[in-house]
Structure formats: C-alpha cells, structure tokens
Structure 1
Amino acid sequence: MSKEKLVPKLRFEGFENNEWIPYKLKNIVRFSKGRGYSKNDLLEQGSPIILYGRMYTNYEIIIRDVDTYAKPKENTIYSKGTEVIVPSSGETAEDIARASFVSKKGIILGGDLNIMHLIENHNPLFLALSISNDDRKKELIRRAQGSSVVHLYNTDLENAVVYFPTLTEQNKISSYLEKIDKMIQLQQSKVNKVKDLKSAYLSEMFPKEGEKYPKKRFEGFTEPWEEYKLKDMGRSLTGLSGKSKKDFGHGEAEFVTYMNVFDNPIAKSTQTAQVEVDENQTEVEYGDIFFTVSSETPNEVGMSSVWLYNRPNVYLNSFCFGFRPTINLNPYYMAYMLRSPEIRKRFILLAQGISRYNISKTKAMELLFPIPSNEEQEKIGQFFKNLDNQISIEEKKLAKLENLKQGYLNDMFV
C-alpha cells in the first residue's frame, strides 16, 4: 500500500507528519470467548449481561450500560471497561461486521461475542471506532462465513488489518467522536420521549370496549362516544387481483405496497411500486383506509393505513383489503384510532393460523369502533398529527448526527 493511503483524509492540526501504522489484530489484541448464555438465561433482575447483537446495544459503538440481566455462571467473563467486542453470529454479514467498546466494568460478556483485549498501549475506543468505518466493515464482511446464519470467529478476525496513529492522536480522535456519540444518545432520548408520549396518549384518548368516554379528553367535549361497525361506515375494497409476477416492476400505474400499509398510520406517497394500468382494478381514493390481512404473528395482523393523496391509476396490493368511508370521518382520527392499543386488541383476536396468521375481511367489517363528533375527531386527529410531525423533526436531527458521525468514521480513519 502506498504511503499516501496511510494517512486519513481528515486530520487534526499538528499530526500531519505522522504516518499511520498497519497492524494485524492478532498482533495487538488477545482474543477470548465468553461463557455461553441464551435468551432462556435472561432474568428480570440480576447481573447485567451482553448476550449478542441486538440483544445488547442496537449496535452502539460505545456501550455505557445494558438492560438485560442473567444469573452468572462459573468461569464468566466480566468487562473491565477496556474490552472491544464483535458479534460472532447474525442474520447477515452486515449485522456482525461492527465493533463496540464496553466502557463499563462488571458486565457479563456472553458466549456469542468475539472479545478483544488490547495488549499494547492503544485506545480501545479508537479500535472500536476504526473497525466501524466503511473500509474495515467491508473487510469483516469478506471474512464472514455462512448463509442462513452468518458467523465471524476469532480466527476470522486475527488477520484483519487495522491502522493506528500515535496514542496521542488516537485519544484526540476518540474524544472528539465520543462527544458526537453523546449528542446522538441525547437526541435519541428526545425521539424516545416523544414516541413514549404518543404511545401513552394512544392508550388514554380512546374509550375501552363498551365504554362511551375516553380516560383523557380535550376540554369542552362532554358528549358520549358512539360505536359503529366498520360495515356501517362504508364499504370494503379489494386489492390487486388476477396478476402474475411478470405484471409487476413496470407500467404507468402504481400500487400501495404491503410494507407501506404495515409501517405507516398515514401511507407514504413514495412507497408504491410499478404495475401495468388495468381498468378492471379498483383505484384508491383520498380517505381510503387499508388493512393487512396476513402476518407472521397474531400481534401484527390488521395493521391499518390511511391514503391521503389524489392520484390516478393507484391500486392496493393483493395482501391487503381496503375500506372506503361513506359517512363523514376525519382521516387523521381514523389513522390514529385504528393504531391505538384498544383497537389493535380487537384485530388481534381475529387472527387465525399456525405458521402464518390471517384475518377475515368479513369479520373485520363486523368490528366496533369508537366515533366521537366530527369536531372532536378533528381535534384528536390534529393532535396526533402534530406529535408525528415532532417525532419526524427529532428523527431527522438524529439522522443528521448519525450521518455526521459516519462521515467522520470514514474520513478520520485509514
């Protein structure tokens, strides 16, 4: 490798003349494996444990704490606040081609982790950060083994190459990126706070089944709510039918995808796919409501989404059914009411199946839903719309910080 490649693109002033040195991991770290633990070993209380992958960090680069616990076994390895870990298995190579610095002492390090202990005078956070840049990730991805389950063993990591500057520069870079990481953590807590607030209101602003008043209500509204069957408020619509694989991926028409309905109370206008124009299909209209009819778990059937766009030649996918109101319903109210915990329970009770769960459109149309006055519907719908807007704002700030961090990881490391 040429000398030009042994310095990063972006560097702090004063370090320009120092070249970075390549090391094989086996020459600067001692590898170990933790004692085996599984999900069945987890407890409500006990010693904090890092089990594997998403079970410990959501893949944070700096692990300051964990919220999983277990009863310690003999010969358990506890963190000393200096370890760097890499997951040893995952669904994809991208899942495990990453490293984390365990900054807190006394955490159990589980058996599905590659544990690295630095044996030279280097900064462990710098090592975790270095492995997390795109070039080093690519090297780990190349070394990963397997298909349905992908593995990275200590022996796969031994010859992976990392590049280190002087300890002073390592500390400078690590300190700077740790500050950004703390900003990300703070912003994530802001996102979580608004999401938790929305979740609480969804639980309290809609009446329980058989009741006529919600627990929490806007001032000025005192009238009892009514319950209506879905079939008494409109009519059902069918999704795409009579199509084969060759009909998709091209054409002047679109269809609303299953995941668009599943993920979004308000459907995203951009989450559509191409299909040929077909006059025999039902076009969706502003205010239509979509429901998923199938899922892998009973808790995820009957997810709903409202379409708020006026576009021609847009259809619904074949794994959902639609509903078109024939009475005056506020679309935002419907979007959030249908996603409230109380209403979700009613759909879950309809789920039937073993390996895959389905709901009957006919039975769904018989479900009862709470409907207040149009004025109160509008007030509630706008309230939740504003909360979603706030969540979106905070998530964009979070994404900006995460992109900034990744940019530095790519530009400040060799």
Structure 2
Amino acid sequence: MAKIHFRSFDEDWQEMLFSQLYQKNNERNDKKEFSYKQTLSVASMTFNEAGNGAADASLATYKILRKGDIAFEGHKSKEFAYGRFVGNNGADGIMSPRFTALRPIMKQDSTFWSYYIHLEQVMKPALIRSTKLGTMMNELDLDDFLNESIKVPPLAEQQKIGNLMQTLDQRIDAGGKKLKKLKEVKAAMLAKMFPKQGQRVPEIRFVGHTGEWEQHKLFDCIEKIIDFRGRTPRKLGMDWSNEGYLALSALNVKDGYVDLSQDVHYGDQELYDKWMTGNELHKGQVLFTTEAPMGNVAQVPDDKGYILSQRTIAFLVKSDVIIEDFLAVVLRSSEVRNALLTLQSGATAKGVSQKSLSVVTIKFPMDKEEQNKIAQVFKKFDCLISSYERKLDKLQHVKQALLGRMFCD
C-alpha cells in the first residue's frame, strides 16, 4: 500500500501482471491517418511538427500511439538506468516503428499511469529482469516484461491521484511561463536602460536626468575585493558546524538573490573570526561568482554575518563613485555579460580571474540619484523573480514528495 493515500481509499492495491494490463500495440499508420506534423517524441510525448526527418513514404509504417498507450524508451541515463516507459496522456499521434508500444486492455486512468509507469522506483526491478543492453540502448524483452507484476489501485483512486499530480504540473507549468516572461521583460529593460555598445546614453531614462554616462574600468570603482578562493575550514585547522554563520558559495549565490537553502554550511564563532575578521560582509554588499557558475551577481541580504566561501568574491565599492545597488545591476547588463563571456577560461568549469576582471569596463551616470532610481527598478524585478522561483521550487518539492509516497513500489 502507498505510504500516503486519500482518506476515502483504504484498500490494498491489487498485484497484477502487466499482461493483464497491456498488450503489444502494432497499429500502423497505413491509412495515413496522421501526417509528419503529428510525429510524437517518445521522450516527451509531445508533437514535433517538423517531423523526425523520415520520408513521407515511410510514415505508413509508423506506429499509432493513442492516448493511454505507453512506449519504451531505452536510453540509459542517471535517472533511468535501464530505460523507461513513457505514457501518452495527450493527443493521438505516430512514432517510429523501432519503439516498443503497449496498449491498455482494461479501463485505466491515463493520467495516473503516465506518472506511475514512469517512476524509476516502481519500474526498475521489472526492467532489470526484462531488459538487456543493446548496441546503443537498452532493449526490452516484451515477453519477460509482460510476466512482471505491478500493484494497481482501483480506478477511482487512479483518477484522484492522476488529477492531483496533473494539477500540480499545471501550476508548475503556469508558474514557469510567468517566470520566463518576467525574466524576458527584465532583460528587455536592462537593454533599454543601459547604453548600447559604443553609446553613452540609454534609450530609456528617468525624467530630469540628462547628459552622457561615463565609462570607467570596473576596478576604478572598487575600493577592495574580498576573495578567499581556495580557503577551507580544514586549511584553518577547523571544520564546518551544524549551526552558526552561513557560508556563501557559488552554489547559493544566484543571479539576483541569495538562496539560503542551497549548499548549506555553517561555521561557529571561532571559524568565522579566523576567516572573516577585517573583511566582514555588510547588507547590500555585492557578491560575484567567479566559476561554476560564472557571473551570478547578488547582494548580501542582511547584517547577520556570513562566511565568504568557494568561488565567490565580494566588492567594497568607492561610495563617492558608485552605489552598491547600481553596481549589482550594471554587472548584469548585456554589455558586461558579453565582456565576461569573452574573458572566461577553463576546460570544464568556465571562470574568470581577478586579472581578467581588471580589464572589464562599465558605464554609469555620475548622478547617484539616477543610479539609485535605476537600481530600484531592477531590485523589484529581482524580488518578483526570487518569489516566483521559491514558489516553483516548493511546488517541485511537493510533487517529488508525492511521487515518492503516493505510489506503491
């Protein structure tokens, strides 16, 4: 029985052979019911309107995959060691005849099965026993697979679980689209509120502010760079703690905000003092990731005290030249981004050194009031983006928890 279930369903799930649930599907597109525009990608069960490059004449040999059918995709991956089944919970279409397809022989909820049949924790034992490693991918022995079994809930419970998971995915998809749109608007505003390459005046400007922006080397605006690259607790003869001061690394410095839930390490008071004395971080200070990933920019969220850790540096600005909030924005402008991309190096993990950063130039208005107005616009964007990303992360965690506990394995 599943670890959690709806209150109205308390009976055990029934053990059934796959041969009681599915039969081999050999329905062909010989009547040309479907065109190349209705070719399904087995990996995603979505239409590829450009087709897959097959000649029109061969489409008659393609298999028809109807809603509720499942197909075996044999590519090995970290997530699916023995291949995977993918359920078609959308529109009818066609797929390459090289894939094995099965069709339900009893009434099922296709939404439920599109999640259930795809779970590695559920399907792995059966696939271990019914697949073999081929030249390029895992091959399914259909007879062996149909003799494997799976636990099946009543149809009404299938429908409840399927509806719940689908609702979660719809919310995740809608949130993802809103987040993408918000990032696109922000990128467009960055392009318009900062001068283009070779220009000194932005396309959009606040009323009352005129004149050309100045261009200076980044380091001309920086009083000090705090960089503890390579420093670890072990090198200081210490270790991380279960609580204390949070370490900021390239894994939790995101683009526009600090994710306090990622790569969590803490240092006690003694480690903090040894590491940070004389270089304490303050609220609003600009953080920059130098590698893996390179170029994320965020600001210290508060004055609680943080340990500046792996692949992240902090800037102490010349406050008479530039304000921190504006520096955090200009470092994410397209002109600076492009400059950083040309300077990065490394065979695998791309990064930039302080020597590379020393040649980067930035443009900015000398009027601090204008700097601040621009910075506040993008702070609002960052707050909204951070909020959407946290909501999406929460929904993803809820979904993964439910996948792990609402299905029998």
TM-score (norm 1): 0.71
Instruction: Name the structure 2 match of 1:39.
Output: none
Partner of 1:388: 382
SS at match of 1:203: helix
Structure-2 residue corresponding to 1:352: 345
Q: Which residue of 1 aligns with 2:116?
A: 130
Structure 2 residue 286 is matched with structure 1 residue 289? yes
CA distance in 2, matches of 1:363, 1:333: 21
Counterpart contact for 2:217–2:360, Cα < 8 Å = yes
Shift in Å, 1:128: 1.8
Which range is displaced more, 354-363 or 394-403?
Answer: 394-403
Q: How does 1:138-157 map to 2 (within 5 A)?
A: 138-141=121-124, 154-155=140-141
- 1:12-41 Cα shifts (integer Å, max 9, x gaps): 5xx77x7643223344224689xxxxxxxx
Letter in 2 for 1:327: S
- Cα distance, 1:187 vs. partner? 3.5
Match of 1:106 among 73, 90, 93: 93
Provide the secondary structure at the position in 2 that maps to 1:70: coil
Kindly provide the CA deviation profile for residues 379-399 of structure 1, in whole angstroms up to 9, marking residues without a partner as x.
222222222322344445545
Change (3 A) 1:250 1:94: farther
Superposed CA offset, 1:104-143 (max 9, x none): 22354696x76443233333323223346xxx64233556
Separation of aligned partners in 2, 1:128 and 1:187: 22
Distance in 2, matches of 1:354 and 1:412, equals 43
1:379 aligns with 2:373: yes
Larger deviation: 180-189 or 239-248? 239-248
Q: Which residue of 1 aligns with 2:31?
A: none
Change beyond 3 A, Cα 1:29–1:283: farther
Secondary structure of the residue that 2:252 maps to in structure 1?
helix
- Going from structure 1 to structure 2, the CA distance change for 1:90 and 1:365 (only over 3 Å counts) comes to farther
Question: What residue number does 1:236 align with?
Answer: 225
What is the 5 A alignment of 1:10-409? 10=6, 20-30=13-23, 48-50=39-41, 52=43, 56=44, 63=45, 70-72=52-54, 74=58, 75-85=61-71, 87-93=73-79, 99-106=86-93, 108=95, 115-131=101-117, 137-141=120-124, 154-155=140-141, 158=146, 161-167=149-155, 170-171=158-159, 174=162, 178-179=166-167, 181-234=169-222, 235-241=224-230, 243=232, 249-251=239-241, 254-261=246-253, 263-269=254-260, 271=262, 273-275=265-267, 276-277=271-272, 279=274, 283-286=279-282, 287-295=284-292, 301-312=294-305, 314-317=307-310, 319-328=311-320, 329-372=322-365, 373-398=367-392
Kept in 1, the 8 Å contact 2:317–2:324? The answer is no
Name the SS for the 2:198 alignment partner: coil
CA distance in 2, matches of 1:264, 1:47: 39
Aligned AA (1:336): V
**CA shift at 1:260, angstroms?**
2.3
Percent identity, aligned pairs only, is 21
Shift of 1:50: 1.7
Q: Separation in 2 of the partners of 1:321 and 1:105?
A: 53
In 2, distance between residues paired with 1:97 and 1:227?
Answer: 55
Q: Rg larger in 1 or in 2? A: 2
Deviations 1:77-112 (A, max 9, x none): 45333323465335423697785434122354696x
CA contact (8 A) 2:2 2:405 kept: no
AA of the residue aligned to 2:358 = M
3-state SS of the aligned residue for 1:259? coil
Q: 1:203 to 1:49 in 2, by over 3 A?
A: farther
> Corresponding residue for 2:5?
9
- Taking structure 1 as reference, are residues 258 and 99 closer, same or farther at Cα in structure 2, changes over 3 Å only? same
For residues 187 and 170 of structure 1, the distance between their equivalents in structure 2, rounded to whole angstroms, comes to: 26
Shift, 1:374, TM fit: 1.9
Q: Distance in 2 between matches of 1:204 and 1:87?
A: 46
**Aligned-pair CA distance for 1:256:** 1.8
Provide the secondary structure at the position in 1 that maps to 2:298: strand
Unpaired runs of 5+ in structure 2? 27-35
Give the secondary structure class of the aligned counterpart of 1:352: coil
CA distance in 1, matches of 2:100, 2:298: 42
CA shift, 1:344, in A, is 0.9
**Count of residue pairs brought into register by the alignment:** 374
Quote how far apart the aligned CAs of 1:69 are.
5.2
1:125–1:174 contact (8 Å) kept in structure 2: yes
Q: Compared with structure 1, are the counterparts of its residues 353 and 171 closer, same or farther at alpha carbon in structure 2 (3 Å cutoff)? A: closer
The one-letter code matched in structure 1 to 2:17 is K
TM-score under structure 2 length normalisation: 0.72
| 1:41 equivalent in structure 2 | none
Aligned-partner SS, 2:201: coil
From the superposition, tell whether residues 406 and 364 of structure 1 become closer, same or farther in structure 2 (CA, over 3 Å).
closer
> Is the alpha carbon distance of 1:310 and 1:79 closer, same or farther for their aligned partners in structure 2, counting shifts above 3 Å?
same
Q: Is the 8 A contact 2:21 2:105 kept in 1?
A: yes
Query: In the TM superposition, what whole-angstrom CA distance separates every residue of 1:282-333 from its partner, at most 9, and x where no partner exists?
Result: 63422443333345xxxx534433324324462332x344322122533333
Q: Distance in 2 between matches of 1:106 and 1:327?
A: 62
